[in-house]
Amino acid sequence: MRHSRSHLKPCFSCQDGVAKQRQRQLCCFDMRDPEALCRHVSQVLVEALCTKGAVRLNGQRAAVANKVASALLENFRQEASLEKEAERLAEEHIQKSPTVDRYKVVQLIKRRLAEERDFAL
């Protein structure tokens, strides 16, 4: 079920030691479109960092947001590739010993492959 953008979620912020509630609009995205989600997250991240003064960009916010989104998408693609390889290797091990937990085997192989390739999960 897809949610409309009008759903509100309470967000608590602390100002002068007193928690105050404010309403904030939720953004709902379809997880089947990770590119749109990554682009939105990168835009929000860059905007928040600029607003907070953590970084200063001279009119380059869109370009930086695009680079952040590209890096996120590439990381997700690499992780998906790692997952496929882990599943393939796990299938070989499971055939030898069918009583083991398939999920645990895949996760252990994935973690080991990530360590070997210096990839952060």
**Is 71 contained in some domain?**
yes
Domain ranges, residue 41: 31-116
DSSP letter string, 14-69:
EETTEEEEEEEE-----TT-HHHHHHHHHHHHHHHHHHHTS---SS-HHHHHHHHH
**pLDDT tens per residue across span 77-95:** 999 999 999 999 999 888 8
Q: Quote the number of domains for the chain.
A: 1
Note the pLDDT tens digit of each residue in 45-70: 999 999 998 988 887 899 999 999 99
pLDDT digits 0-9 by tens, 103-113:
999 999 999 99
Condensed to tens digits (0 to 9), the pLDDT of residues 7-16 reads 444 444 444 3
Q: Is residue 23 part of a domain?
A: no
